[in-house]
Amino acid sequence: MIKIKNLTKTYQNKKTKTTVLNNINLEIEDGDIFGIIGMSGAGKSTLIRCMNLLEKPTSGSVHIDGINITNLDRKSLSKVRKNIGMIFQGFNLLMQKTVEKNIAFGLEIIRIKDFVPENMKINEYKSLSYLEKRKVKKVETKRKVSELLKIIDLEDKAKAYPSMLSGGQRQRVAIARALATNPSVLLCDEATSALDSMTTKSILTLLKKINEETKVTIVIITHEMNVVKEICNKVAVIDQSEIIEQGSAPDVFKNHQSEITRQLIGGEL
Ligand SMILES: Nc1ncnc2c1ncn2[C@@H]1O[C@H](COP(=O)(O)OP(=O)(O)OP(=O)(O)O)[C@@H](O)[C@H]1O
């Protein structure tokens, strides 16, 4: 579960002080596909970046699976971050690496001694020599990459470079890389904004399938209402730095209270 308590984010320079998030309170339950919607500049990106401490809140706290991650030291935070995958509008792939190497990168960043093999008891792994551990990690990485290639349906592109892929295929690779560490949370920052509507639909279908199969909690920030309608079970509306509405997606769509929400959903319902 992700709990955000009284979170405020203020940017300050010599002359100005801007409060971008004001007293945000949110609870995102395990397995949710939680949409955060709002107009441009409302604070969506800042909020999602606070969830993995890419931005440090000015005050308030972020709790993931019961752990307050707000003031963790670098080492503990990097451990927590392995449990939080993130994908971006611009995909952020390594252009000089093949698809399979991009996906493996999600695991490469974990030190041999911190690696947790999926098919092995942790004590068994711990008792191995460094070289044996390295071998296990190599084999496990290979296995995981082929499993993920299958999930994203790009087994035939394993040796391709990102420049040879379409936008939708690149985002699939980014999703696989984010899932390599089996995170319990996947943060999606405008993940489909650069894609056409058909490709968006296929990425959303993939995210939904992954959510159903792995129970990963997905947080999506977007200004695209079809994204929320398509896959989110819950939604929060952010406007001028504050959460102005939240609840089950169908309920917020039907019984919204604010003018901003009405504008965002375009009065379609
Ligand atoms: N580093 C920063 N310093 C000062 N102000 C910032 C900084 N980062 C963001 N802001 C301001 O915070 C506000 C919220 O930005 P944010 O990117 O979170 O909004 P958003 O809802 O994601 O917008 P969009 O949909 O356009 O991406 C904006 O007014 C932005 O100018």
pLDDT digits (tens, 9 = 90+) for 15-42: 899 999 999 999 999 999 999 999 888 9
Residue 177 within any structural domain of the chain: yes
Residue 77 within any structural domain of the chain: no
Spacing, Cα 52 to ligand 1 middle (Å): 17
Residue 114 within any structural domain of the chain: yes
Spacing, Cα 241 to ligand 1 middle (Å): 10
pLDDT digits (tens, 9 = 90+) for 104-132: 998 988 888 888 888 888 899 999 999 99
Per the CB < 8 A criterion, the answer to whether 30 and 184 are in contact is: yes
Report how many domains make up the chain: 1
63 is written with which tokens?
A: 């709790």
Spacing, Cα 7 to ligand 1 middle (Å): 16
pLDDT at 254 over 80: yes
Residue 116 within any structural domain of the chain: yes
**79 ligand 1 Cβ < 6 A:** no
ipTM beyond cut 0.85: yes
pLDDT at 141 over 90: yes
Rounded to whole angstroms, how far apart are CA atoms 141 and 104?
6
Residue 28 within any structural domain of the chain: no
pTM: 0.92
- Which residue, by CA, sits nearest to atom 3 of ligand 1? 11
CATH code, domain with 147 = 3.40.50.300
| C-alpha closest to that of 52 among 35, 28, 69 | 69
Structural domain boundaries, residue 176: 94-182
Q: Which of the four pLDDT bands, split at 50, 70 and 90, describes residue 269?
A: very low
Spacing, Cα 18 to ligand 1 middle (Å): 10
Residue 189 within any structural domain of the chain: no
Q: Per-residue pLDDT averaged across 127-149, rounded? A: 94
Residue 156 within any structural domain of the chain: yes
Pocket test for ligand 1, best of 17, 46, 222, 223 (most atoms within 8 A of CB): 46
Residue 140 within any structural domain of the chain: yes
